[in-house]
Structure 1
Amino acid sequence: MLPLLLLIFILFFVILLFFAVRSYPIPLLPQSRILLLIAHPDDETMFFSPTIRALTHAGHRVFILSVSNGNFDGLGKIRARELSRAASALGISSSDVICLDYDEFRDGDTWNRNALCQIVMRHVEVLSADTVISFDSYGVSGHHNHSSCFDALQTAYSNGGVPRDVQIFVLDSIPLWRKYIGMWDALFSFGRSPFFYMARFRDVAACWRAMWAHRSQFVWFRALFIVFSRYVYMNSLRRISPLPLTPSAPRNSQKFKFH
Structure 2
Amino acid sequence: MLPLILLIVTLLLVLLLIFAVRSHPIPLLSQSRILLLIAHPDDETMFFSPTIRALLQAGHRVFVLCISNGNFDGLGKIRARELSRAASKLGISASDVICLDYDEFADGDTWNRNALCQIVMRHVEVLAADTVISFDSHGVSGHHNHASCFEALQTAYSNGTVPRDVQIFVLDSIAIWRKYIGMLDALFSFGRSPFFYMARFRDVAACWRAMWAHRSQFVWFRVLFIFFSRYVYMNSLRRISPLPLTPSPRNPQKFKFH
Check whether TM > 0.5: yes
CA distance in 2 between partners of 1:79 and 1:164 (Å): 35
Deviation per CA, 1:12-52, whole angstroms, max 9, x where unpaired?
A: 34542332101000000000000000000000000000000
- 1:11–1:85: structure 2 CA closer, same or farther, 3 Å change rule? farther
Task: Name 1:215's counterpart in structure 2.
Answer: 215
Amino acid at match of 2:88: S
Paired position in structure 1 for 2:116: 116
The whole-number CA distance in structure 2 between the counterparts of 1:221 and 1:71 is: 20
Letter in 1 for 2:147: S
- For 1:185 and 1:124, how far apart are their aligned partners in 2? 33
The number of residue pairs the alignment matches comes to 258
**What letter matches 1:31 in structure 2?**
Q
Alignment-mate amino acid for residue 177 of structure 2: W
Offset, 1:104:
0.3
Change (3 A) 1:165 1:250: farther
What's 1:256 paired with?
Answer: 255
Do structure 1's residue 28 and structure 2's residue 33 form an aligned pair? no
Deviations 1:65-123 (A, max 9, x none): 00000000000000000000100111100110000000000000000000000000000
Q: 1:17 is matched with which residue?
A: 17
**Alpha-carbon separation, structure 2, partners of 1:9 and 1:202:** 26
Partners in 1 of 2:240 and 2:220 — Cα distance?
36
In the alignment, which residue of structure 1 is the partner of 2:125?
125
Secondary structure of the corresponding residue to residue 253 of structure 1: coil
In 2, distance between residues paired with 1:121 and 1:83? 22
In structure 2, runs of 5+ residues without a counterpart are: none
**Counterpart amino acid of residue 78 in structure 1:** I
* Residue pair 1:18, 1:200 contacting (<8 A) in 2 also: no
Aligned pairs for 1:58-137 within 5 A? 58-137=58-137
CA RMSD of aligned residues (A): 1.6
In structure 1, what is the equivalent of residue 153 of structure 2? 153
**In structure 2, what residue type is equivalent to 1:200?**
R
Gaps of 5+ in 1: none
TM-score of the two chains, using structure 1 as the length reference: 0.95
C-alpha distance in 2, partners of 1:18/1:215? 31
In structure 2, how many angstroms separate the alpha carbons of the residues matched to 1:160 and 1:46?
31
Residue 5 (structure 1) shift: 4.3
The percent of aligned pairs where both chains have the same amino acid is 89
Tell me which moved more, 15-24 or 203-212: 15-24
The within-5 A match list for 1:188-199 is 188-199=188-199
Asked whether the equivalents of residues 240 and 258 of structure 1 are also in contact (C-alpha less than 8 Å), the reply is yes
Amino acid at match of 2:144: H
**Deviations for 1:108-167, whole angstroms, at most 9, x for unmatched residues?**
000000000000000000000000000000000100000000000000000000000000
The 1:237–1:251 alpha-carbon spacing in structure 2 relative to 1, beyond 3 Å, is: farther
> Which amino acid is 2:93 matched to?
S
Counterpart position of 2:54? 54
Tell me the distance in 2 between the aligned counterparts of 1:252 and 1:203: 44
Cα contact 2:137–2:150 (8 A) shared by 1: yes
1:11 positional shift: 5.1
